[in-house]
């Protein structure tokens, strides 16, 4: 679980969750495209994947392998209870072990990322839930795996409650991500109205009605949107699943 770097006589433990938090606290604002940052590296989901993956690789060192879009189905086969909700892990990390095939290595990590830039709020929220479900499946398939989801947004419609348009009902999925909080200028966390339930079928809000997602396990907390920059529309949530 840990990597050790020697600095003189000191050994510094490097936990992957702390590495990701370190990236979010120290690197994200410097690299993220915002109105006040013209020298940016992160401007969409692919660039986020690239920058975070490189950062993890640098921090963990040569004893770890960091891969992008590794296929879970090809790695571990079918998911017995149900179909894999997705197949490719955005970032896949494992500790190198020459005595074992990758599929049998004990120390593994998977990270799913989202950085939507084209609105489509209910559809994107549904894709957030699919990411959580996928990470639950990876953890259930490989019970010793550690799995995470990271979502970044630059649009207050993802996390603040809006009044439905006339004649339009508010979609259930909104309450799992939107708060009743209206003071978006606050640097405090913004918490979703309700926790995403388990054992409840959550349908795709638009399009195919047979696209259903049911979380395998109850989450331990509601979605909490953290402040990123002086532009209050920029927020993220990061969770270990």
Encode burial over 31-62: b for 16+ CB neighbours within 10 A, e otherwise. bbbbeeeeeeebeebebbbebbbebbbebbee
Query: Comparing C-alpha atoms, which of 17, 21, 20, 15 is closest to residue 2?
Result: 15
Statement: the pTM of the whole predicted model exceeds 0.75: yes
Whether 154 contacts 237, CB under 8 Å = no
**pLDDT tens by residue, the chain, 241 residues:** 545 444 443 434 579 999 999 999 999 999 998 888 889 999 999 999 999 999 999 999 999 999 999 999 999 998 877 889 999 999 999 999 989 999 899 899 999 999 999 889 999 999 999 999 999 999 999 888 999 999 999 999 999 987 665 545 568 899 999 998 766 777 888 999 999 999 899 998 887 777 899 998 999 999 999 999 878 889 999 999 9
| Residue-range domain boundaries for the chain | 8-240
Rounded distance between C-alpha atoms, residue 143 and residue 137, angstroms: 9
């Amino acid at each position: 679980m840990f990597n050790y770097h020697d600095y003189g006589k000191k050994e510094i433990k490097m936990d992957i969750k702390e590495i990701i938090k370190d990236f979010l606290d120290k690197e994200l604002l410097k690299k993220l495209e915002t109105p006040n940052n013209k020298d940016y590296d992160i401007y969409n989901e692919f660039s986020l994947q690239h920058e975070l993956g490189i950062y993890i690789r640098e921090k963990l060192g040569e004893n770890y392998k960091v891969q992008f879009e590794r296929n879970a189905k090809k790695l571990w086969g079918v998911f017995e209870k149900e179909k894999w909700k997705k197949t490719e892990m955005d970032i896949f990390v494992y500790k190198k072990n020459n005595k074992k095939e990758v599929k049998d290595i004990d120390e593994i990590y998977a990270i799913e990322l989202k950085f939507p830039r084209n609105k489509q709020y209910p559809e994107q929220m549904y894709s957030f839930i699919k990411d959580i479900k996928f990470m639950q499946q990876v953890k259930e398939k490989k019970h010793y795996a550690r799995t995470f989801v990271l979502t970044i947004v630059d649009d207050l419609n993802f996390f603040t409650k809006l009044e439905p348009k006339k004649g339009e009902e508010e979609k259930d999925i909104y309450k799992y991500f939107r708060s009743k909080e209206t003071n978006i200028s606050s640097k405090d966390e913004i918490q979703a109205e309700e926790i995403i339930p388990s054992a409840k079928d959550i349908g795709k809000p638009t399009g195919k009605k047979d696209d259903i997602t049911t979380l395998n396990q109850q989450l331990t907390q509601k979605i909490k949107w953290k402040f990123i920059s002086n532009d209050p529309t920029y927020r993220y949530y990061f969770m270990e699943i």
